[in-house]
């Protein structure tokens, strides 16, 4: 059954990979995944992936950190245990806010950074002790792999990939690939 098969095209140069992705997309083939040893600038746009919304979550996590810092400092330094530090009594939060700015900044960054890492791991399904899903170990060193689903067009795809500069083309069962 050809529907469960994929073609793995291996490239040795990121510039050749980028032009190959553009050629494959121009021929209306669907690229399942691309494995690279390092991030390739512009590859997401060439593949037609939607822009990420992770920056929005970073901003929201920073706001959470800012709110937590303001509430925490107001409660601790003004309500719960007010102290006269250096002759400056703690009558209100606004009078003492300039002294609290570094804490507000640090907690904003702390919340944004830590919650972003957690979000990244959850979104990419990278659990602790998860087995790697890399189909070819060479893609962690110096090779690039393009995975394309086969739908009865094996010869056409192989010819197209050879023209784009693939150094190796393998047809693999999807169940065996991962």
CATH code for position 140: 3.30.70.120
In a domain, 114, yes or no: yes
In a domain, 99, yes or no: yes
- The answer to whether residues 59 and 113 belong to one domain is yes
- The answer to whether residues 14 and 63 belong to one domain is no
- pLDDT score recorded for residue 3: 52
β-strands 5-11, 144-149 pairing? antiparallel
- Which tops the pLDDT comparison, 85 or 63? 63
Range of the domain at 79: 54-123
The reply to whether the predicted model has a pTM over 0.85 is no
In a domain, 129, yes or no: no
In a domain, 128, yes or no: no
Q: b/e map of 3-36 (b: 16 or more CB within 10 Å)?
A: eebbbbbbbeebeebbebbeebeeeebebeebbb
Q: What is the distance between the alpha carbons of residues 60 and 56, in angstroms, rounded to a whole number?
A: 6
Number of domains making up the chain: 2
- The answer to whether residues 11 and 43 belong to one domain is yes
- The answer to whether residues 67 and 116 belong to one domain is yes
- The answer to whether residues 79 and 105 belong to one domain is yes
Question: Residue 65: pLDDT above 90?
Answer: yes
In a domain, 130, yes or no: no
In a domain, 103, yes or no: yes
Judged by average pLDDT, the poorest of 31-40, 108-117, 162-171 is 162-171
- The answer to whether residues 64 and 115 belong to one domain is yes
Taking CA 167 as the corner, what is the angle to CA 131 and CA 8, rounded to the nearest 5 degrees?
40
- The answer to whether residues 82 and 142 belong to one domain is no
- pLDDT score recorded for residue 93: 79
- pLDDT score recorded for residue 137: 82
In a domain, 117, yes or no: yes
- The answer to whether residues 16 and 39 belong to one domain is yes
- The answer to whether residues 90 and 141 belong to one domain is no
Q: What is the percent of the chain where pLDDT is above 90?
A: 35
In a domain, 39, yes or no: yes
Cβ atoms of 90 and 96 within 8 Å: the answer is yes
**Residues 105-126, mean pLDDT to the nearest whole number:** 93
């Amino acid at each position: 059954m050809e529907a469960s098969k994929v073609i793995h095209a291996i490239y040795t140069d990121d510039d050749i990979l980028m032009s190959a992705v553009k050629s494959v997309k121009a021929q209306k083939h669907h690229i399942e995944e691309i494995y690279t040893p390092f991030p390739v600038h512009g590859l997401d746009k060439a593949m037609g992936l939607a822009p990420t919304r992770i920056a929005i979550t970073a901003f929201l996590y920073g706001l959470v950190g800012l709110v937590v810092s303001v509430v925490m400092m107001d409660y601790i330094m003004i309500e719960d245990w007010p102290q006269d530090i250096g002759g400056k009594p703690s009558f209100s939060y606004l009078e003492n806010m300039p002294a609290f700015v570094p804490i507000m900044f640090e907690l904003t960054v702390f919340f944004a950074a830590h919650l972003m890492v957690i979000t990244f791991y959850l979104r990419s399904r990278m659990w602790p002790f998860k087995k790697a899903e890399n189909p070819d170990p060479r893609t962690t060193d110096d090779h690039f792999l393009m995975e394309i689903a086969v739908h009865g067009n094996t010869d056409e795809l192989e010819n197209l990939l050879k023209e784009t500069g693939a150094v190796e083309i393998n047809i693999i069962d999807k169940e065996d690939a991962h």
